[in-house]
Structure 1
Amino acid sequence: MSFRMVRYLVSTLIATGALSAVSPAAFAEEKSYTVNAPDGVALAVQESGNPDGPAVVLIHGLLGSRLNWDAQVKSARLKGYRLITYDMRGHGRSGKPTNADAYTDGRRWADDLATVIETSHARKPVLVGWSLGGAVISNYLAAYGDGKIAGAVYVDGVIELTPEQIVAHPDVYRDMTSADLKTHLDGERTFLSLCFDTQPDKVTFERLLANAAMASWDMQAAVQSMSVAAADGLGQAHVPVLLIYGARDALVKAQPAIARARQINPNLRSVLYAKSGHAPFIEEPKRFDNDLGAFVDSVSNK
């Protein structure tokens, strides 16, 4: 079809009102760019959805990248929002420093998130952190406060790295940092499997496994000692906070984590997905997208 014909058809549809019900978000193009954290680490950032809609920053977990949020980026329910994803340090297409303190210092992860918010010019975004991403939100709140955000969602988020809240898998974490390549990759495969009670389809799992293999070995060894300022961060948040956890989580102990978070911040709200494991946004995407959309709407209208 020629460009002239396409232009004619679009003009005709506009004239007849056939496009009047279509959201501008339907025409938004994805864009990718790179920003630099204060310590020089390059961060790969991506945007999709409606550039004029409420901003949502989606923060993945350990061994992930923006690809973890693929269902949300493609979700019809969330197309009206400005969805901002980024690959955290040591992951995906972002920089992978080799020094341990680049990962153990929780402030650096907080600075990364602050840099993404500032350089994207996101106005009062909702922060959504999965697993390790929850710890990043807490560290951000401790360092920067909640004045520039509208709310926060912890998705099976790490509240604190304690035995009371984290399921012990010493063999898995040992294998993930093994110098032997086969052992390392097998450890990552096992870790990824533990993320789901209902396993994703083969293509999705293989893509996420390849995604995991891109993660820095240095990061995987160091991040287990990452500082998490839960009391100073989550505990000081005055904006609305929602916790979404899978009841069948094999990595984070859902009930103890929720109980501890509520002890730190009694005003938060929690939802437990009875049929999900560690990744409810992948295991029950429609329900998750509806819950996230409702939360964003509620805080964006204030």
Structure 2
Amino acid sequence: MQTVSRIVTSADGCQLYAEAAGNRDQPAILFIPGASTALSWWRKQFDHLSDTFYCVRFDLRGNGASDKPSDPAAYQESKRWADDVAAIISAFELNKPTVCAWSYGGYALGDYLQHYGQTNLSGLVIADSGAQLNTDQSKDLVHEAFGQLVGKLFSPTITAYREGVEDVFKSLTLRPVEDRDKTDFHGASFLMAPSTWQAMFGRMIDHTEDFRRVSLPTLVAYGQQDPIFTPLAAEQLREIIPHAQVSSYPCAHAPFYECAERFNMELVQFMNASFSH
């Protein structure tokens, strides 16, 4: 299936790189990646699902091929992340898409729900993410080792920063990424500057009430050996969204990549069930 790329301008002028594949008349899925990654991490979904669904993905601000503003406020204000998601939905004329958000992308989804609500969406798929960051409760949601690692990523010293990026990259999967993806994924992980790490991970996030208001079909997926989010993050989302389905995978931080066949099957089942109602 042919992939179409375009630049989408968000409300504050930040230009976001995005791609789409599939039939526009089919149900849409909007894929949001995490920090220090790129939209290409969703390759296995685009390769296998774009014949059935209209698939759209984009690089977060400060990441991949999207703009990288130097102003910390560009990453610390919730409305900007919400506007990014809204801009992608508008630019591709997505009709009530299902949003599939991974890691930090889950925070961007929470930002969208906070400022725009759920009216224009059909469902949520949340992969290895959480509802909170830098709150008292969030200390139990993120592994202590990752919290220590983030200190390296804040460092202006290139050696420490490089070590931190390498450590994060290696932790995303239990097994090395496939050869065809290695250069793309690895290169993308170095495109996020230390100042951007500081701004993104320095903000206080609490989307508990935003997710609690969700009545849409919801699927929470997480890796049993995720070195970033603890299983408590998925459990908290289940408590906040009682009707959510929860699916655990024998992998690290990227179940949609390491266990792609199962993830895609469950995503298709989720989509079919959502649109049958």
Q: TM-score range by the shorter chain?
A: over 0.9
Q: Distance in 1 between matches of 2:158 and 2:202?
A: 23
Aligned to 2:56: 84
- Following TM superposition, by how much is the alpha carbon of 1:197 offset from its aligned partner in structure 2, in angstroms? 2.0
1:66 is the counterpart of 2:42: no
Q: Distance in 1 between matches of 2:24 and 2:235?
A: 36
1:134-213 → structure 2 map (5 Å cutoff): 134-161=106-133, 162-168=138-144, 169-213=146-190
Aligned to 2:235: 259
Q: Report if the CA contact (8 A) 1:139-1:229 is conserved.
A: no
Aligned to 1:110: 82
Pair 170,239 (structure 1): closer, same or farther in 2 beyond 3 Å: closer
The Cα offsets for residues 100-124 of structure 1, whole Å up to 9 and x where unpaired, read as 1211222211110011111211001
Q: Report if the CA contact (8 A) 2:128-2:234 is conserved.
A: no
**Unaligned 5+ residue runs, structure 1?**
1-27
Secondary structure of 2:124's counterpart equals strand
Q: Distance in 2 between matches of 1:166 and 1:113?
A: 24
- Following TM superposition, by how much is the alpha carbon of 1:74 offset from its aligned partner in structure 2, in angstroms? 1.0
Letter in 2 for 1:253: T
Q: What is the RMSD computed on CA atoms of the aligned residues?
A: 1.5
Aligned to 2:261: 286
TM-score in terms of structure 1 length: 0.86
Aligned to 2:102: 130
Q: Distance in 2 between matches of 1:176 and 1:107?
A: 25
- Following TM superposition, by how much is the alpha carbon of 1:216 offset from its aligned partner in structure 2, in angstroms? 3.2
- Following TM superposition, by how much is the alpha carbon of 1:33 offset from its aligned partner in structure 2, in angstroms? 0.9
Aligned to 1:224: 201
1:50-61 → structure 2 map (5 Å cutoff): 50-61=23-34
- Following TM superposition, by how much is the alpha carbon of 1:146 offset from its aligned partner in structure 2, in angstroms? 0.7
Aligned to 2:71: 99
Aligned to 2:6: 33
Q: Distance in 1 between matches of 2:29 and 2:77?
A: 25
Letter in 2 for 1:286: E
TM-score in terms of structure 2 length: 0.93
Secondary structure of 2:205's counterpart equals coil
1:272 is the counterpart of 2:214: no
Q: Report if the CA contact (8 A) 2:36-2:63 is conserved.
A: yes
**Unaligned 5+ residue runs, structure 2?**
none
Aligned to 2:218: 241
Q: Report if the CA contact (8 A) 2:130-2:234 is conserved.
A: no
Structure 1 runs, 4 residues or longer, greater than 4 Å off: none
- Following TM superposition, by how much is the alpha carbon of 1:295 offset from its aligned partner in structure 2, in angstroms? 0.9
Aligned to 1:4: none
Q: Distance in 2 between matches of 1:261 and 1:222?
A: 25
Q: Distance in 2 between matches of 1:96 and 1:82?
A: 27
- Following TM superposition, by how much is the alpha carbon of 1:78 offset from its aligned partner in structure 2, in angstroms? 4.6
- Following TM superposition, by how much is the alpha carbon of 1:203 offset from its aligned partner in structure 2, in angstroms? 4.6
Q: Report if the CA contact (8 A) 1:280-1:288 is conserved.
A: yes
Q: Distance in 1 between matches of 2:132 and 2:273?
A: 28
From the CA coordinates, give the structure whose radius of gyration is larger: 1
Pair 229,139 (structure 1): closer, same or farther in 2 beyond 3 Å: farther
Q: Distance in 1 between matches of 2:111 and 2:209?
A: 8
Q: Report if the CA contact (8 A) 1:78-1:289 is conserved.
A: no
Secondary structure of 1:163's counterpart equals helix
- Following TM superposition, by how much is the alpha carbon of 1:79 offset from its aligned partner in structure 2, in angstroms? 2.3
- Following TM superposition, by how much is the alpha carbon of 1:260 offset from its aligned partner in structure 2, in angstroms? 1.2
Aligned to 1:119: 91
Secondary structure of 2:90's counterpart equals helix
Q: Report if the CA contact (8 A) 2:131-2:208 is conserved.
A: no
- Following TM superposition, by how much is the alpha carbon of 1:53 offset from its aligned partner in structure 2, in angstroms? 1.2
Q: Report if the CA contact (8 A) 2:33-2:105 is conserved.
A: yes
- Following TM superposition, by how much is the alpha carbon of 1:202 offset from its aligned partner in structure 2, in angstroms? 4.3
